[in-house]
Chains A and B, each alone.
Chain A
Amino acid sequence: MDDLIRKAEEFDPSEAKASSRLKSRILTKLVELEQAEGPLRNLSESRDAGEQLCVFEQALAMLPSGELQSKNPCAVCHARILGEKVENAPVFWPGCAYARYCGH
C-alpha cells in the first residue's frame, strides 16, 4: 500500500496547471513589490533587452528615459483587471503579459 500512496504523486490532472487569474495576480504582486523597492527599469531598456512591449508601453518607451518610462501603465489598464478577475479573459493586446497568461 505504501507504493500505491507513492504512485499518487505521478497523477497529473489538467487542473494542476496554474490558472491565468493566478498568474496575473502573482505578476501584479511582484511588480508592486518591485515598485516599492525603487523605480522600475525603463521600458526602452526592457525593449532593448529583447522584451516585447504592449502598445501603451511602446508609447512610454518613446519618451526620454527617466521617471515617465518607469511608470507602470498596467496599474490602470483593463487588461490587468480582466486578467486577475476572469479566467482566460478576452484580452488580445500583443506584448501584454496578462494577455499571454490568458492564452492570447
Chain B
Amino acid sequence: MTSPALKTHQSDLELAAAILARDRKATARLVEIHSDTVHRYVWRRLAPNVEMVEDLVQEVFIAAWRSLKNYSGEASLQTWLLGIARNKVEDHYRGILSRPLADLETAADEMPASEIDLEAGFDAGRQSERAAEILMKLPYEYAAALRWRYWENRSAREMAAASGRTEKAVERLLARARQKFKRLWLEMGLEPEGRA
C-alpha cells in the first residue's frame, strides 16, 4: 500500500516532470501552490525589508526551476523549495554580516545586568507577536544575526566562518543585539496595550 506521503511526492514528481516539459500551466500551478509558503518563510526572516523579500522569493523559484531536474521526489516539493529558500536566506545573512558594522559597533546599548522576568504578563501567542515586532524594529544587522543564530540554529563559530568575521566579533554582535532586544521588550512592556 502506498503511504499518503509517497502519494504526495508522486504528484510532486508529476508536476516537476510537466514543468521540465515546459508546460506553462504546470509552472503556474507550482507558483500558485507554493509561493505563499516560500514567501512566509522568507518574510519572517527578512522583514521588514519587503522589497528584498520579494526579490529573494523570486530568486528561490528561479533557482528551483533551474535545478528541477535534480528533484528526486524523496522530499515533498514544498520541503525541497524551503531548502532552497533556507540557503538563499543564509546567503543573505552572510552578506549582511560580512559588511562593515562600524556604526553599530560603537553604538552599544548598555543595560544594567538585572534579573527581570521578560516573559511575565504575556501569553505565549502575544509573546511571539511582540518578539516578532521587536525583531522588525531592531537595526537590520542585529535582527539578521539573531534570526541566523536562533532560527537557523547556527553557532557563533559557524556564523563567523561563513561571514568572514571573528568568532569574538560575532559573539559581541549577538550580545549587543540581545541587549537591544531586551531594551525594546522592556520599553514596549511599559506601553499601554490598547486592546479591547
B181 and A1 form a contact (CB under 8 A): yes
Q: How many A-B residue pairs have CB under 8 A?
A: 131
Partner of B31, one of A15, A27, A39: A27
Size of chain B's interface in residues, with CB distance under 8 A? 45
> In the assembled complex, which residues on chain A have CB atoms less than 8 Å from the CB atom of B181?
1, 4-5
Determine how close the nearest CB of chain A comes to the CB of B68; give it in whole angstroms.
10
Size of chain A's interface in residues, with CB distance under 8 A? 45
Stretch at the interface among B88-96, B99-107, B121-129: B121-129
B28 and A27 form a contact (CB under 8 A): yes
Determine how close the nearest CB of chain B comes to the CB of A90; give it in whole angstroms.
19
Partner of A23, one of B24, B32, B129: B32
B32 and A101 form a contact (CB under 8 A): yes
Type the 1/0 row for A38-68, where 1 means its CB is closer than 8 Å to any CB of B: 1111000110010111000000000000000
A40 and B22 form a contact (CB under 8 A): yes
Stretch at the interface among B37-45, B72-80, B160-168: B37-45
Q: Which residues of chain A have a CB within 8 Å of any CB of chain B?
A: 1-13, 15-19, 22-23, 25-27, 29-31, 33-35, 37-41, 45-46, 49, 51-53, 72, 74, 97, 100-101
